[in-house]
Amino acid sequence: MRRIAYDQRVSTLIEVRGGEREWAEAERCFEEHGWPVAGHHPRGEGPLRGVLDPDPASRVYEVEVRLFGAARGCDRGAAQRVRKAVRAARLEAYVLRAEPLVRDREMLPEWRAYSTRHRHSGPHGRWWRRAARYVVRAGRYDTGVRVTGTPRQALRLARTNATASATAGDTDSPSRVAVRPLDGRWRGNVRFWPEEEGERRLLRVFAGIIPATAAAVFASGHTGFAWWFWGVVAVVAGCAGVWAGTGLYREGRTAGVLVALVALCVFLSMGLGLLSGDGTGWTRTQILVTGVIVAVLGGLRLLVRQWTWGEWVAWAVPLAATLAASSFLAAGSLLHTLYADALSFSPDDLDVPAVWQTIAAVKLLTLLSLVMVVPAWWGYARHRHHFYAAPGEGFNIAMYVLLMLALLGGSALLALNSAEVAADKTKAAAIRGEDPPSYFGVEPEWTCVEPAVPVGRLSGEGPRLVPKRPYLSFGIAQGTAVLWDRVAKKPVKLRASQVRLVPAKSAMAVCGGAAS
């Protein structure tokens, strides 16, 4: 049987009708999906005796369905996957019962074995014994054996190897081997929850602390009703996080509450800037953008990890092609073309280095995280085993088309908005006579234009050149000096061989022989 990764195990009773041929096909279907078959019985026999009416043409299989996703609702997810599998195999089969198999791992104490031969050498004073304890903790006498269990069990496990070594002729005897703890779990037998249960309880604490911090930051930037609203949200979320701390440990709620309070204070201090020297904390924009990006990446991870090879071909290949195409356009000319068009230039008027084109592509892909909310939401839906997100259902086709349209439309809108905003800032700065901002390698600067030929014989486009007035220069591209006239608010293009460009101190400088 091939090895298939999974998160949950669900024991199911599946009734297959139709006789020997159908039963053989069902067993082959279960094997292809990596679902172990524990056994089978005729309908009305075995564990279902007296529950179902006997039928010799029907057989009930005990199958362990293994699947990705959350533990909650995995019984529904297992039934969905079985129905999909038998439908694809054209079998008449029914899921009679589905029960999750919970196999959480207990958090047992861990120990390191060490040799005690040092105790029988050297002085026996109090200072030596204290120093020896620190040396032991540092691992100086470790034997390279790591054991797990209660203190007594750990000592016996560590001395098992010592017994074998002594039998082989080693000088160490079992009595000269001891163990030192690697964690604090040995102090209590039932203090900690099992591994996955402990992780879930810790997540509940942060599920209250992080929203409380975000709401507190939002409240600090508002007044009136908005302040009260976000303040109430912060208090409620913070109390929920602290209350969730009462379930962190099996023994004693006080320790869990203290841990939750400390975490809440640390997050609030960072968010409100109480720990920074200049008093600056998180901004609302940073919280929103970071939250969206983290949520989108988490949803995409949940979606991708559940893909089968068929879904990789059907989803990932076209998706990668779409992203590659949008990245190529962005890296090559898209953002800079839109920026040039907003300034009434042509795409060839801006000579942008390739490294800045790549940076523009990365910027666009970062903004695309907002567009990827749709597939991220789909990933969360599949992880929670929602019925409309069952793998292989026809509704997936509609979601796929919607995803492609969202990617293409979102790419165009984000790129257009970014370029238009940058161009408007450049125009506004030029009209005011200020230094304009740069845009992905485009560095406009004030320049004096000194004609090398009479002004009337200059070749180019745009308004007539006024040599005494500085122009906003966008560089030289394909032998053409690309300028922008702040008075006429229009571009000026001149043959580079007919003019000489000299940097000006500002837009108010006087060119043509004066200090510039």
Query: Residue 18 maps to which CATH number?
Result: 3.30.70.260
Cβ atoms of 334 and 415 closer than 8 Å? yes
Residue of 85, 71, 72 whose CA lies nearest to 31: 85
Minimal CA–CA distance to 329: which of 313, 347, 345? 347
Residue 281 pLDDT exceeds 90: no
Average pLDDT rounded to a whole number, residues 402-423: 72
Of the candidates 397, 428, 459, which is a domain's last residue?
A: 428
In a domain, 421, yes or no: yes
Domain count, the chain: 5
Per the prediction, the chain carries an average pLDDT of 80
Q: Quick one: 138 and 159 in the same domain? A: yes
Q: Please indicate whether residue 312 or residue 169 has the higher confidence score (pLDDT).
A: 312
pTM above 0.85, yes or no: no
Which region among 190-194, 332-336, 486-490 has the lowest average model confidence (pLDDT)?
332-336
pLDDT at 513: 44
Domain containing 205: what range? 195-282
Element at 331 (helix H, strand E): helix 317-332
Q: For tokens 């094997």, what's the residue?
A: 31
- Residue 495 pLDDT greater than 50, yes or no: yes
pLDDT category at 367 given cuts 50, 70, 90 is low
* Position 332 pLDDT exceeds 60: no
Contacts 24+ apart (CB under 8 A), 35-39: 35/63, 35/64, 35/65, 35/66, 36/1, 36/63, 36/64, 37/61, 37/62, 37/63, 37/64, 38/11, 38/62, 38/63, 38/64
Q: If pLDDT is split at 50, 70 and 90, which confidence band does 210 have?
A: very high
Distance CA 252, CA 64 (A): 38
Give me the sheet containing 445-451, strands edge to edge: 460-461, 490-495, 480-485, 471-477, 445-451, 499-503
Q: What is the pLDDT of residue 15?
A: 94
- Same-domain status, 420 and 370: yes
**What average pLDDT score do residues 60-66 get?**
94
The predicted pLDDT at position 169 comes to 43
Give the whole-angstrom CA distance, residue 317 versus residue 112. Answer: 49
State mean pLDDT over 214-224: 85
Q: How far apart are CA 336 and CA 359, in angstroms?
A: 12
Q: Is residue 29 part of a domain?
A: yes
The DSSP letter of residue 37 is E
| Whether the predicted pLDDT of 374 surpasses 50 | yes
Residues 307 and 413 in one domain: yes
pLDDT for 170 beyond 60: no
Q: Verify that 319 and 408 share a domain, yes or no.
A: yes
Q: Is 401 part of any domain?
A: yes
CB atoms within 10 A of CB 354: 10
Out of 155, 170, 187, a domain closes at 187
